Amino acid sequence: MGDLVRINEQSLVQRLSPAEAYTLIRQRLGWLAPRWGLRPEDVARLTSQTRTSTYAPGEIILPKGVRGDCLGLVVQGQVAVHVGDRASTRVVVVLMPGSTFGEMMLAEGLPSNSTLQALTRCEVRFLRRADIRPVAVERKTEQRIAQRWQLARSALVVLAVLAWGMVLLQQAASKQVLAMIPMGIGQWCSEREYDFCTQTAWQASANLAPNDPIPLLALGTIYFEKGDVAAAERAFVAAGTLADDLPEVHNNLGLIYARQKEHERAIAEFSTALELEPGVAATEHNLALSLQALHRYDEALVHYRTALALGGPQAETLVNLAIALYEMDDLAGAVDAAEEALEYDANLAAAHAVLGAVKLETQQPEKALPHLQRAVALDWDYGEAHFYLGLTYKALGQVDEAILSLEQSLARAEDELSRVRIRRYLNELYEIQGGTPTP
């Protein structure tokens, strides 16, 4: 295993209090809770159920390659992290009380990529995946039961609609008039988030009135919200074939193309929508987003400000304006827009990320840290927040935390350019830590 490092005598007596240990584990589990659908009370209960194990000096806590499926918190003592093969293993970092390990093992069941060994008498508190799994299964079961009840209610509503429709058909009512009935039922179901009922009713309306673009627009919207972009595009194109002068058709097609990162096509559709119906704040906002994606910042700012003047989605528009201003190196403007966005909604992860990025850019990492930690806590899947948090930890000399955050960012990067940028920082940190560069 190699030579053990010399122990600082002061560290032998350092120990986390029960309250400190509880807070740290609850924070880590809280970040991962959305993955399993855990409620706040589940997080609190699971944190209180963690178990402590004691290790003698030199004892292996976790061998390399083992699926530990756990999150560990060092409560007392020092833990050496060894990397490399058995013949060339070396200590790359020593975990002190308050350090955690195994986040990815807990979250994704990954095997350990290093060996952990007690350097002194150690106490480690463990939160195990096996303890979380029953609670997660229970929450998923509850969700499935709720969905089945919703499906049953939706089916009853649809059957009632069809029965009513058959009666009216026997009375020689026109199909065009009949189509209004399932449209209204679909709207009722939509307001109550009965998706199956909504889709079935609007499909019935589209079948009854094949020359009416409105049911197709409604269907396209629900497909888009469910993530079925191809079906949404087919519905919107079909609606456009029936009525090319509807601004909603072009705005919705613009949203499709923007989702597919075809921003030139999106800009053309949003522009057509605004020509047909000027003064729509949401369309101005959408156009600005695609312009920003192509780095046409001056044009994007014009449309963001128009959207704000028209009373559009203020918080969302302001936070995207803040991002655009940051990308233009207008740091003061970015701060003003982000702070104004937070006045509308204090839980905007992107606004906190912008404020943190600005503080980091102006050499104030200690002030950047709380904003970026807040951003990650609000949206664990926000890759840019993880990226700037990693750079902040790096600036503060917290190498382990920086690596963890940048690895999270790398896992969420959407393009190769971003991945190259993140790997560059990671490899620099791995060299400091003595680890292996990213592939």
Q: 76 φ, ψ to 5°?
A: -150, 145
Angle between helices 349-361 and 383-395 (to 10 degrees): 30
pLDDT for residue 128: 84
pLDDT for residue 12: 42
Give the chain's residues under pLDDT 70: 1-13, 68, 85-88, 146-195, 197-199, 201-209, 312-313, 435-439
- For 208-253, write each residue's pLDDT tens digit: 667 777 777 777 787 788 888 898 898 889 888 888 888 889 999 9
pLDDT for residue 368: 96
**What distance in Å separates the CA atoms of residue 8 and residue 156, rounded to the nearest whole number?**
71
**Which string of DSSP letters, residue by residue, matches 225-263?**
HHT-HHHHHHHHHHHHHH-TT-HHHHHHHHHHHHHTT-H
Nearest to 32 by CA among 404, 380, 410: 380
pLDDT for residue 225: 81
- Which sequence spans correspond to the domains of the chain? 9-134, 144-366
Burial code (b: 16+ CB inside 10 Å, e: under 16) for 90-126 equals ebbbbbebebbbbbbbbbeeeebebbbbbbbebbbbb
pLDDT for residue 297: 95
- For 54-73, write each residue's pLDDT tens digit: 999 999 998 887 776 788 89
User: pTM to 2 decimals?
Assistant: 0.58
Domain 9-134: homologous superfamily in CATH = Jelly Rolls (2.60.120.10)
What number does CATH give the domain 144-366?
1.25.40.10
What would the two tokens of residue 273 be? 């929508």
Say whether 144-366 and 9-134 share the same fold.
no
